[in-house]
Amino acid sequence: MRLGRLLVVAWVWGVALVQVGCSGCGDPLVTYSLPGSSAGVCADGLRNGDELDVDCGGSCQPCGSRDEGCQDDADCAGGECRSGVCQPVPPGCTGGACAEGESCGGDSDCGASLLCLESVCARCREDSHCAAGLACRAGACEKDDFAPRVQMAFLPGSTVLRVRFSEPMRRDGSPASILNPDNYCVELTDETPHECTPSDAFWLGSELTEVDPNTVDIQLPFAPGNGRYTVHVSGVVDRADNEVGSPRHADFEVGGPPRLMSATTLGRDRVVLTFSRPMQPGPDMAGSAGCTSRATCAARYQLTGSSALGAVLSARVLSAPRDNEVILTHERLQGGGQYTARAANTEDGDGLRSVWGERLGASPLDRVTFTGFGPLVSAWQDGPVQVDPFADGVASTSAVAYRGRMYLGPNASGTRAVGMDQDGVRPDDLAFRFRKDTQRLSGTRSANTAGAPFPSIGFPGCREGSYQCGPDNEDGRALFASGTFGGTEWLMIGGTRSGGGLDYVYMSRDDDATLDMKYVDLSQALDGTSARSFSALGFHGGRAYLGVPVSGGTRRPELLALLRAPAETAEGLDARGNGTTGGACKPSSHEVCNLAAHRMPGIGAEGSPANPARTVGIDFVGEFNGKLYLGNNGGLVRATVQQPLDYESSPAHWVSITPSAPEYGAKESLTTDKAMDLEPSDRAWRMAVFNGHVYLGRNTTAGPQLWRCDPERVSGPSPASVQDCDAGDWVLVAANGQGDVQLSQFDNPRNTRLTLLAVNAGSLYVGFDNAVDGVVIYRSAVEVPASRADFTGQGGCVAGTVGCAGVGGNGFGQPSVHTRLGEAATLADGGLGFLYVPVSGGPGTPVRLYRQRD
């Protein structure tokens, strides 16, 4: 016999409470918070945001309990009963100022900036943990002056559009409420993602329903046909009256398979998955999203990431309107890094189907990223932010700062990236939509015969002429960059064509969960016949600069200046150029210019001196004092004007600044035969600007050197200047005290390549690949670092002294796993700086992501 429940609803201080009792059991009534309330953790297994069970399941035990249900600590051998589930006892403390990770009974038990969450002292993880008017920033509740954003939109029903925001929003009857239909506009997706052309067919009416504090359901007047749409939002505010910021829109698709949309931690042992459609609730049955045992859950779900979470113990589908959400309970406690949740599909042979029997979409539609509930990862010694970030074994990826967030990608199939706030929380899984060049206004047409748009930039071994490859049949790893054109920040992705014929780069000013990438046809300035990939991408002075390595007889490194971005309403740009073999660059008539780097002194095979390397590329493009700097194994060059023209017609716009110091000439720069899939260890140079000085890391055949430019050392004759770097301005920094004193290895000959040179907050970071000790990173906060003693390692030890490991420990504590540094990036937020570093052990070793906050 199924036992009924008695429900008594009351409102206390604006929070709905429900008193629940199991009829026939004689139990006293228990008070619960209604779903979506701000009361925090609810009693007897129900937590904030959970559904209420319709009955007690036929027995008088705490409603909402799991497989390992409990009523008090006596039911748990050596553990404690929390929310109806047996859990390990966290370490306790005394004195009322418990540290992070220690047990607590309330906020007053915890130290400064900590809250009592899940009976454990912790930093906030999301805005809902903080009082109204405060927001969670870098783990602390601070004044909320941060604009909310539209996180996603999807159709959980044929005529219901669900819009989710990044934080709790105003939900009253005011004009700025998310329940006001006048604040929404829906249109077919077009090339102007920041504008909406409303259509009478998409008039939304007035039927809007709150799903939770972050989410609203909009009743559409009809079921839209298959295609891609965009919902635009304006005028809504969060709890602190901050108006919605960028992105203010989200794309959604009608048709196609169901997908996993997001994952959010509910505590140290639980995570809620959001699917794009309602899921079948019955546990352990074919087609069900629910499960009650390790075996059935293992066939449906997998959790991977910065630490092992063990087996999934149970999965429960919530009631409508949240029947597209599934709560997983897992075995081990979450840390503060990121995790990937993967839901199975029939393609993988493990049987998860939606209520309609539809197969969940294949990768990447079957996986999402979330940040765990544990202590925030703030330093390298705290462990990785993410391990195998896309759950696909990708061994190399890059990081780039874009629109105030950090982007990591692409994944192994070229279809996905992850975006996250500067402190690593609120990760979003990002998809791509690459446009295809179908015109021939100038240059070429895209080579892939499949119809646009394309979901991938390609990957090694992709099937040519299919959606596996990019629009121009790109088939290799891509490189990210970001920068500004005309006051608008753009994201740029450069792909790879392993057989040569590289003609395109892709750009987006989009910032929602699907990045619409416009093509840029470079073929009128790029001799793509032997060009395979990009070795350097950068934005400076309102332009983008692209370096392309070239192998073979010409050995002419390509350096392009992209002078304009694609128009907002266009699918791309067929850029007019100055030719592939020369010709004057004319900004009035050209959109892309070949800057004739092959003739620059030391840089190209036709320079004086000539570059003798078999593969010649551009290792970096950087900026100092408004001037462009670049270099490769043959030397260094800078521009003498802020927007230089090509070297062939305007040689006075360029000057060689290759160091004249004897330590430079004593060593030979590193060369590589690779024309694609370049790693930091393949490049001869890296550049950073710190406290008004240029620092360059140089890799030679003997080992690494660190150089500093003191611009005032040489001031003439022209074009030398006191503000810019010239050949005589360079000095060797942090030279070895023993061994080869013309190298900068901090007295460790196993530091074979200098692969990280970055500025984060007030420190200069220098990092090395090391196959024996693991990667080694030192930093300096000295105004003008010169010697090894100006750098420090772990615990502030003096770099290069006996026993002084690098910051975070050599190899970040795992020297056999972390031997190579990837393309790192920094992101500033007020007075804080965040340095993200991908690391790996080389091919076959999944990449790991580390973060340092200064």
Q: What is the pLDDT of residues 536-587, one digit of tens each?
A: 999 999 999 999 998 766 667 899 999 999 998 999 999 999 998 778 999 9
Contacts of 310-313 with C-beta under 8 Å, sequence gap 24+, read: 313/66, 313/67, 313/68
733 vs 84: which has the higher pLDDT: 733
- In the block, residue with structure tokens 């699917």: 275
pLDDT band at 266 (very low <50, low <70, confident <90, very high): confident
Strand ranges for 456-535 from DSSP E: 479-485, 488-494, 504-508, 514-521
Tokens coding 838: 């991908």
| Nearest alpha carbon to residue 200 among 190, 178, 185, 216 | 185
pLDDT at residue 596 tops 50: yes
Cα maximum dimension of the chain:
98
Domain ranges of the chain: 1-85, 150-254, 260-375, 376-426+744-854
Residues 6+ apart with CB under 8 A from 45: 62, 63, 64, 65, 66, 69, 83, 84, 85
Residues 6+ apart with CB under 8 A from 678: 533, 535, 549, 617, 672
CATH code of the domain made up of 260-375: 2.60.40.1220
| Nearest alpha carbon to residue 230 among 149, 169, 153 | 153
> How many Å apart are CA 153 and CA 216, to the nearest integer?
10
What pLDDT is stored for residue 32 in this prediction?
32
Mean pLDDT of 263-283: 91
Cα separations in angstroms, 440 against 446, 454, 576: 10, 19, 11
* 3-state SS class at 680: helix
Q: What is the pLDDT of residues 17-26, one digit of tens each?
A: 333 333 333 3
Angle at 453 between CA 356 and CA 430, to 5 degrees: 70
What pLDDT is stored for residue 21 in this prediction?
36
Q: How high does pLDDT run on average in the chain?
A: 86
245, 200 Cβ separation under 8 angstroms: no
pLDDT at residue 44 tops 80: no
pLDDT band at 723 (very low <50, low <70, confident <90, very high): very high
Looking at mean pLDDT, say which of 219-223, 318-322, 343-347, 803-807 comes out highest: 803-807
Q: Which overall architecture, per CATH, does domain 150-254 show?
A: Sandwich (2.60)
- DSSP label of 663: H
Tokens coding 209: 């329903």
| Nearest alpha carbon to residue 381 among 814, 830, 753, 707 | 814
- DSSP label of 532: -
> How many Å apart are CA 848 and CA 314, to the nearest integer?
28
- Give the distance, in angstroms, between the CA of residue 255 and the centroid of all CA atoms in the same chain: 28
What pLDDT is stored for residue 70 in this prediction?
61
- In the block, residue with structure tokens 């462009």: 628
pLDDT at residue 282 tops 50: yes
Mean pLDDT of 641-661: 97
pLDDT at residue 37 tops 50: no
pLDDT at residue 758 tops 70: yes
> How many Å apart are CA 249 and CA 516, to the nearest integer?
13
What pLDDT is stored for residue 63 in this prediction?
35
What pLDDT is stored for residue 727 in this prediction?
97
What pLDDT is stored for residue 29 in this prediction?
31
Tokens coding 282: 């019955």
Q: What is the pLDDT of residues 52-104, one digit of tens each?
A: 333 333 333 333 333 345 666 666 665 666 545 565 566 677 667 888 878 88
Number of alpha carbons in the 13 Å side-chain half-sphere of residue 778: 27
Q: What is the pLDDT of residues 458-507, one digit of tens each?
A: 999 999 999 999 999 999 999 999 999 988 999 999 999 999 999 999 99
Report the chain's terminal Cα–Cα distance, integer Å: 61
Asked if 150-254 and 260-375 have one fold, the answer is yes
Alpha helices in 750-798 (DSSP H): none
Identify the weakest region by mean pLDDT among 49-63, 419-433, 754-768, 825-839. 49-63
Q: What is the pLDDT of residues 359-417, one digit of tens each?
A: 788 888 899 999 998 888 989 999 999 999 998 999 888 899 999 999 999 999 999 99
> How many Å apart are CA 409 and CA 389, to the nearest integer?
9
Q: What percent of the chain has pLDDT over 70?
A: 86
* 3-state SS class at 94: coil
Helix H or strand E encompassing 21: strand 15-22
Cα separations in angstroms, 591 against 520, 524, 538, 558: 10, 10, 16, 16
Number of alpha carbons in the 13 Å side-chain half-sphere of residue 670: 25
Tokens coding 473: 């049949």
Strand ranges for 54-93 from DSSP E: 80-82, 85-87
pLDDT at residue 287 tops 90: no
| Nearest alpha carbon to residue 777 among 795, 790, 793, 763 | 793
Residue 165: which region, alpha, beta or left (left: phi > 0; alpha: psi -120 to 50)? beta
Report the predicted TM-score, pTM, of the whole model to 2 decimal places. 0.84
- DSSP label of 361: P
Residue 436: which region, alpha, beta or left (left: phi > 0; alpha: psi -120 to 50)? beta
421 vs 797: which has the higher pLDDT: 797
